[in-house]
Amino acid sequence: MTEPTQEQVEQLTIAFERFTRRFKVAE
């Protein structure tokens, strides 16, 4: 398993934040 690059980590973080925000709004 390769180490994720900083760019990939940032993209995952942004995607996760968008998902959690959408989930909270849906509640």
The more confidently predicted of residues 10 and 22 is: 10
The tally of domains found in the chain comes to 1
| DSSP-assigned states of every residue in 2-27 | PPPPHHHHHHHHHHHHHHHHHHHHH-
The proportion of the chain whose per-residue pLDDT surpasses 70, expressed as a percent, equals 100
0.85 surpassed by pTM: no
d(CA 27, CA 12): 23
Q: What's the number of CA atoms in the CB half-sphere (13 Å) around residue 26? A: 6
The proportion of the chain whose per-residue pLDDT surpasses 90, expressed as a percent, equals 63
Instruction: Provide mean pLDDT across the span 7-23.
Output: 96
Q: Name the residue range of residue 10's domain.
A: 1-26
